[in-house]
Amino acid sequence: MKFYLTPGSCSTGIHILLEELELVFEAHLVNLLAGDQNKPEYLALNPKATIPALVRNDGTALTEFQAIAYWLARSYPKAQLLPGDADGDTRIIELMDYAVGTIHGQGFARIFTTDKFTPNPSDFDAVKVQGLNIVQQGFAVINKFLPAEGYAMGAFSIADAALFYVEFWADKTGITLPENCLKHYRLMLARPVVRRVLMEEGYRVD
């Protein structure tokens, strides 16, 4: 398989899942700042010009964090990245979608890619504040549902990988995580695969 990623981005969560499953894959770096996502060869496999993207052994490409994570969990059931029952799986997807769609897609997107939300530079500060509020409110919501100890839904799952990367962004941008989110983040940082992935992507792990 071929995995297209940008170090420190949402693709880090998928990178963690691939390593957890001990899958063999080729890593291809996509430099978003340099515009690699808009190059013809990348658009040919992912017309959305987004990351992550996973080209499977049959040559077909998967995009979108939730879709890739779900496919990995269903394709390798022995890893138990999903509980396996309808209610448990639904709760995992519910949390994952909120982390990716709201905290990332609505919150951090306004902080990191402010110009996509307004053409007027004079509005940039207001948009970033709005993004920060969305992020903080999102973590507050998740904090209420997280257990005081352990992973999001008991055993490690695809939801933990999604939640980790937005917690990682919060840490790197100086946003304070509420208590249960912080405990979850520290638990993930202590996981050997997570530490290895961060080091592979060029981050120092203390």
Q: Does residue 90 share a domain with residue 69?
A: no
pLDDT greater than 90 at residue 206: no
CA distance 15 to 4: 10
Q: Does residue 136 share a domain with residue 74?
A: no
What per-residue confidence (pLDDT) applies to 108? 98
Tell the burial category of 161 from Cβ atoms under 10 Å away from its Cβ (0-12, 13-18, 19+): buried
CA distance 76 to 186: 26
pLDDT mean across residues, the chain: 96
Q: Model confidence at 204, in pLDDT bands (50, 70, 90)?
A: confident
Instruction: Give 144-167 pLDDT, tens digit per residue.
Output: 999 999 999 999 999 999 999 999
- By residue range, what is the domain housing residue 135? 86-191
pLDDT greater than 80 at residue 169: yes
Instruction: Give 52-109 pLDDT, tens digit per residue.
Output: 999 999 999 999 999 999 999 999 999 999 999 999 999 999 999 999 999 999 999 9
Tell the burial category of 205 from Cβ atoms under 10 Å away from its Cβ (0-12, 13-18, 19+): exposed
Q: Does residue 58 share a domain with residue 108?
A: no
Q: Does residue 101 share a domain with residue 65?
A: no
What per-residue confidence (pLDDT) applies to 15? 98
DSSP 74-124: HH-GGG-SS-SSHHHHHHHHHHHHIIIIIIIIIIIHHHHSGGGT-S-GGGH
CA distance 156 to 36: 33
Checking DSSP bridges between strand 53-55 and strand 2-5, what pairing results, if any? antiparallel
Structure tokens at 134: 């969305």
What per-residue confidence (pLDDT) applies to 100? 98
* Residue 204 domain-assigned (yes or no): no
